Structure 1
Amino acid sequence: MQLLVQPIGQSIDFGVGDNLLDTLRRAAVPISYSCSAGRCGTCRCKIIDGSIEVGGDRADCSTDAVLACQATLTENCTIEIPEPDEIVVHPARVLKGTVDSVEAPAHDVRIVRFRTNRPLSFSPGQFATVQFGRGLERPYSMASVEGDDLLEFHIRIVPGGAVSGHVARTLRRGDTARISGPLGTSYLRRKHDGPIICVGGGTGLAPVQSIVRATLESGNRKPVHLYFGVRSEADLYGAPTLAELHQRYPNLHVQIVVASGSVHAGHRAGLVPDAIAADWPDNHALQHFRGYVCGSPPMVAAVTTALVAQGLDAGRIYADAFFTQPQVVSQPA
């Protein structure tokens, strides 16, 4: 049996029942992966022709994507792996984190920093699962970058939320948590050395902060545009950090967009998609950019539409939608 891998055009022999990720790795095909257990999402690929079995069900070209680690080869098929030149492989790890600090920069946000028993290898923009205790487990994005002394998370306090309620009312310096990861595919594409546009809504600032810091600290001097959208001035946090980054890196351009209420000097009133449309009126203006979008599902959808309308190829927009429902654990909150 034969597996054809696009866009590299490599053909691989396999046996019926072989795992797709194992087959690709044996053939030295460049594909991102981490947990190998169907949680991190990094080994996502698309079926172009034929079919693959996933969890006992048939998946074919009508399926949006499959995770290679969960897919079983059953017949001749063709798959497409995304960006074979942007591969990341971080070993899945479970760490012990000790709370170093808990800050409340806004009424419904806590910044929690952990000192871990060993380093966590991750790409800027990824997230991890944080378990504070039995039944108190949620995914949160790293706001720090690999190599920082502390692992930083921005946690939104959700009314009635068991985990965020624990963070708001109970969590203290010296408490411990179980941190596992990394997870997620909306990470910084390091081989792109052109301009980027990053958009964060609410605690979507966390992965955006990590992405922006990493690209600036790597020496990229192309324009980096960061839009940070909040509901009101009372919900705004992180402005001093963004100002400090701008002072260090003049190629960073920060726009703080406030949806309602009074707006402080230097901030903009309205919605982020409208601000993007106003700043980039030419429908080809963003064609050489890469985009990173993190926030609530409606915000991610609206911003993605705005970016595409201004010329950014949808395939170059990397997005994570933040869900608040406890049952949804595939994306950070």
Structure 2
Amino acid sequence: MDILVQPLNRVIRATPGVNLLEALRAAQVPMSYSCLSGRCGICRCRVIDGEVLDGGREQQRPLDGVDGGVLACQTYVTEPCTIEVPAPEEAVVHQARVAKGVVTAIEPLAADIRRLLIKVSKPIAFSPGQYVQIAFTPAHIRPYSMANLPGQQVLEFHVQLMPKGRVSHYIATQLKVGDSVKISGPLGAAYLRHQPVGPLLCVAGGTGLASVLSVVRGAVAAGMSNPIHLYLGVRSPREMYGLAWLDQLRSTHPSLQVHVVMASGADVHQQRRGLVTQAIEQDHPSLQGWQAYVCGSPPMVESTTLLALRKGMEAVHLHAEAFYMQAD
């Protein structure tokens, strides 16, 4: 059975019923993957022609007339098909692993935001913009994005304290410096791509700034010269943080422009009023040729994604991660 792989224009042979990711790996097709369980979303690809078996839904999916996006690790090939792998030249493989860590600092960043530093037993391989699961106890587990660069033994996280949030309440009231935690990952497909496709649009809502900081820090460290437009959206002054880090990045990367947008209570001399989507709409008639990294609440991520597509950005260049706040 043949699988035509685009844009490589390669035909690989596979046995009917084989896992798609296994077939791609066996043929040494450049393909990003990590967790192998369908959680991280990194191995997403598109079925252009043919039918596959979606292991997650346990049913065959006819893909004619729809987008055809699937996770390769959860997909089984049942007949000849054509698969489009995204940006094979940007493929990254960070095998998910579990590491022990020790809390080294818990610091206030804003009224309801904490900076959490965790030293891991050995550095975890990841790409800027990814996240991990942190198990503080067996009953207190949540995903958080790294704000630092890969290769560092101390990982930096930004935690939003949620009203009645079980895990964030534990972090605020019980977690102590010296406590042991378990970290698993990396996860997430909104990681930095290095191909020079044009200006970068980085959009953060609240503590989504952690992921965006990692992306921008990674771009600067890699010597990327792309213009970067960073939009930070917050609801009120209580959520404002990170301006010193952004100023520092702006001093080392002159083509970085920072826009702080506050929904209410803003000082009009320093921040813009409204929503990040309104600011982007005002600033950029077209986003054709741009690449985007978006991280924050689901409504912000969805509205920004729709806006970027409407302004001409190609879907393959739009990398988004939604934070689902949990109060349980």
Same fold flag (TM > 0.5): yes
- Residues 233, 264 of structure 1: 8 Å contact kept: no
How big is the shift at 1:149? 3.9
Instruction: Give distance in 1, aligned partners of 2:233 and 2:254.
Output: 21
In the alignment, does 2:313 pair up with 1:318? Answer: no
> How big is each residue's C-alpha offset from its partner over 1:112-167, in whole Å with a ceiling of 9 and x where there is no partner?
11110011110111111111101211111111110234101111111122111111
> Partner residue of 2:17?
17
- Residues 31, 87 of structure 1: 8 Å contact kept: yes
> Partner residue of 1:143?
147
Cα distance change, pair 326–94 in 1 and its aligned pair in 2 (3 A): farther
**SS of 1:299's equivalent?**
helix
Instruction: Write the mapping of 1:116-127 to structure 2, written as runs, cut at 5 A.
Output: 116-127=120-131
- Residues 129, 191 of structure 2: 8 Å contact kept: yes
Instruction: Write the mapping of 1:1-333 to structure 2, written as runs, cut at 5 A.
Output: 1-55=1-55, 56-61=58-63, 62=66, 64-192=68-196, 194-263=198-267, 265-280=269-284, 282=285, 284=286, 286-325=287-326
Cα distance change, pair 306–91 in 1 and its aligned pair in 2 (3 A): same
Instruction: Give distance in 1, aligned partners of 2:76 and 2:151.
Output: 37
- Residues 262, 274 of structure 2: 8 Å contact kept: yes
Instruction: Give distance in 1, aligned partners of 2:247 and 2:116.
Output: 21
> How big is each residue's C-alpha offset from its partner over 1:192-234, in whole Å with a ceiling of 9 and x where there is no partner?
2632110000011010000001101211233111110000112
- Residues 201, 228 of structure 1: 8 Å contact kept: yes
> How big is each residue's C-alpha offset from its partner over 1:231-272, in whole Å with a ceiling of 9 and x where there is no partner?
011210111111122122222111111111142632111111
AA matched with 2:14: F
**Unaligned segments of structure 2, at least 5 residues:** none
Q: TM-score, normalised to structure 2's length?
A: 0.94
How big is the shift at 1:67? 1.6
What CA RMSD, in Å, does the superposition of the two structures yield over aligned residues?
A: 1.7
**SS of 2:158's equivalent?**
strand
**Unaligned segments of structure 1, at least 5 residues:** 328-333
| Corresponding residue pairs, total | 324
Instruction: Give distance in 1, aligned partners of 2:123 and 2:94.
Output: 12
Instruction: Give distance in 1, aligned partners of 2:5 and 2:309.
Output: 28
